[in-house]
Structure 1
Amino acid sequence: MAEPWIRTDECDAREFRNTLGSFLTGVTVVATYDANGAGSAFTANSFTSVSLDPPLILVCLGKSYTSIDNFLNCEKFSVSFLGEPQRDLSSAFASRDPEVKGPAIASLVGDDCPYVEGSLTVLICERHNVVDAGDHIILIGRVERFTAGESQPLGFYRGAYVGIGPDVREIEQLRDPLIVGGILSHGGKVLLCRQPGSETWDVPSTKLASGERHGAALHRRFRELDVEIGASVPYSLFQEPGEKSTTFYFWVQTEEEPETGTVGEAESALFDAEDEPWTLVHGELKQAMIKRFFDEMAIGRFGVYFDMMEDGGVVALGDKLHSWQDWNASTLSAQKKPRSGG
């Protein structure tokens, strides 16, 4: 039986990235000081050794990384191998939210070069060479000194953290992560995004990190597009044919019209029904979901879709979103009302 090969010129960047995620890696934090002595750091799993003599290693960072110049021009940088207890710290260094990443940057230690204290291993490197490689930069460092501790390493596999130790059951029991996304509508239009150079648009979505609440994940994803969202209501839960991940989409609210354009690594735009945006995205069920949203928006009647074994089902949404306190209070009040006999 022939392998189901997928051509890279016929798939989007996300599908290729997900495939690369099936290679189990460790997790590192790469750090340096900028010209003003402020720390700069990012989480990376694209690390490898290059040479023993001389002692060379490399890491890769995207060209869209806002602080890339600090690493292109630095004299020294560090690579900290994270241990299993440092999952939250890894997520903090990977965040684009200043309120999340700021405290992580402030926790860096080191005089001539910052690094993550308490790491499994730390390499202090002199910048040896920089190589241009597509949408990334390969930063090659010559290891000047290193320190190694005792801990269980932190692994990364298919978009999720895993612990790696004598007991490998966590890896064996790993399930594909839940993807959460948000349908944002404003003025009869829906917001979609895409990677630069891609012809395929998508509903803003992200993989739910270990221990992360869906609301935080949605806010994180939309902030990457410079969009602030408010309440979110469940709208559609399904699994695309041929895909392992389950996707949970929410109808998200915003008070102001979102700004569109290119922000960081993504481009966003608003589409109305005449644009037929459901034809611009990949995935049969996702296309049907966007089409359904426009149909329901036209008549002002919405429902929540749930994927089932042979077909899908829809539960009608009520009049508006109520806070839990208000809903609970009204429910208790209704329960206390006397029932008429009969």
Structure 2
Amino acid sequence: MTPVDPRALRDAFGGFMTGVTVVTTRNPSGAPLGFTANSFSSVSLDPPMLLVCLGRSLSSHGIFATCTHFAVSVLAEGQEGVSNVFASFKGDRFARIAHGADANGIPVIDGAVAQFSCRRTQSISAGDHTILLGQITGFTHGDGLGLGYARGQYFSLGLERAAMVVDSTRRIVAAALVERDGHVLLEEAPGGMRPPQFEFKAPGNLRAAMEARLAGSVRLGSAYSIFDDRPTNTHYTCFLAQATQDCALEGRLVPIEDISGLTFETPAIAALCKRFALEHSTRDFTLYVGDEASGDRHEIR
């Protein structure tokens, strides 16, 4: 059997877009436990069943694998912070997040688009993970959209789609902030530097159109900035992206820390790139929606 590169396999799995859940239970003394999981699936309607996968490296693996009941909260758009707490925070996670309890006394996350209460029916060993099968004993759900996750980044299709509604009189431009090893790819325009960009005749599905234009060169991530640049009569959408090994885009790789000293094509693009440099230092990226002068920021990762 040919050896498998775990990093490459993880990247391949990462191309599958998923939702984000928080799985919860209580330990034998009654203390709440929870972790973030995107390996979640419905299994059966009759009887109603679902599954989640938990890594054997999880500190609470043994408790979840033997619990009598657990719950799954499907996170909503805007709950990136909840996901991050249950993915990495080492202290009292439940003290930081609004939550309630289901009929079994298991914590459930406030604001989730769906909450499932489960009786554990089976724990199945599967390589370096355990498949937790649960029979659903109760559930609630709302009308909102769930938080998405792909290639190591959160995404929000509802917000992204709503923001891409375009005035048909404007030019439609989509760009990508292509990152590689602490550098970002920029191209030279008559007025200064800018991210690689393409002009489209109609808005349509800009994400799919960009992926087609950039095929083989980058892995497209979350939308990063969606705004109307009124002085240039342009509707501008910019995505985060990672360069692939076969990246064939032309341009100049600039150290991200040098962005502040560059001249850019327009003030709006300058503001976008300088915000990217600032947020890159903390990896706390936000989606900007508005115009060249003002707008709102929404956490995306």
The TM-score with structure 1 as length reference comes to 0.48
The higher-RCO structure (CA 8 Å, 6+ apart) is 2
Checking the alignment, whether the CA contact within 8 Å between 1:155 and 1:164 is kept in structure 2 is yes
Match of 1:121 among 111, 114, 119: 114
Query: Compared with structure 1, are the counterparts of its residues 166 and 9 closer, same or farther at alpha carbon in structure 2 (3 Å cutoff)?
Result: same
- 1:134 Cα offset (Å): 0.2
Is 1:77 the counterpart of 2:70? The answer is yes
Q: CA deviation at 1:139?
A: 0.1
- How far apart, CA to CA, are the structure 2 residues paired with 1:139 and 1:176? 38
* CA RMSD, Structure 1 to Structure 2 (Å): 3.8
1:193-208 → structure 2 map (5 Å cutoff) = none
Matched residue SS, 1:151: coil
TM-score when scaled to structure 2? 0.54
For residues 178-193 of structure 1, the aligned pairs below 5 Å read none
Q: Provide the rounded CA distance (Å) in 1 between the counterparts of 2:246 and 2:92.
A: 35
Q: Which residues in structure 2 correspond to 1:131-280 (within 5 Å)?
A: 131-165=124-158, 167-168=160-161, 241-242=245-246
Contact 1:49 / 1:56 at 8 angstroms: preserved in 2? yes
Pairwise CA distance, 1:72: 1.4
Task: Classify 1:170/1:311 alpha carbon distance in 2 versus 1 (closer, same or farther; 3 Å).
Answer: closer
Question: What SS does the aligned partner of 1:118 have?
Answer: coil
Partner residue of 2:3 out of 5, 9, 21: 9
Contact 1:159/1:177 (<8 A) preserved: no
The 1:177/1:69 distance shift into structure 2, 3 A limit, reads farther
1:85 deviation in Å? 1.7
1:103 has 2:95 as partner: yes
- Whichever residue aligns with residue 164 of structure 1, its letter is L
Counterpart position of 1:31: 24
Which runs of no fewer than 5 residues in structure 2 stay unpaired?
165-173, 183-220, 225-241, 259-301
- Is the CA contact (8 Å cut-off) linking 1:158 and 1:176 kept in structure 2? no
Deviation string 1:53-109 (CA, Å, 9 cap, x unpaired) is: 1111000000010001121121110000100121111111101x42474634x6432
CA distance in 2, matches of 1:242, 1:169: 33
Q: In structure 2, what is the equivalent of residue 22 of structure 1?
A: 15
Alignment of 1:306-321 (within 5 A): 309=252
| Contact map agreement 1:79 1:124 (CA 8 A) in 2 | yes
Larger C-alpha radius of gyration, 1 or 2? Answer: 1
SS in 2 for 1:79: strand
* Rounded Cα–Cα distance in structure 2 between residues aligned with 1:125 and 1:110: 13
Contact persistence 1:27–1:154 (CA under 8 A): yes
Amino acid at match of 1:72: A
In structure 2, the residue corresponding to 1:84 is in which secondary structure? coil
Higher strand share: 2
- Contact in 1 for aligned 2:178/2:243 (Cα 8 Å): no
CA contact (8 A) 1:92 1:100 kept: no
> Could you tell me how far apart the structure 1 residues matched to 2:139 and 2:75 are?
14
For the structure 1 residues 210 and 29, does the alpha-carbon distance in structure 2 shift closer, same or farther, using more than 3 Å as the test?
farther
Q: What secondary structure is seen at the aligned counterpart in 1 of 2:15?
A: coil
Check conservation: 1:127, 1:141, Cα contact below 8 A.
yes
Change beyond 3 A, Cα 1:24–1:37: same
| Aligned sequence identity (%) | 36
Alpha-carbon distance change, 170 to 88 in structure 1, aligned in 2, over 3 angstroms = farther
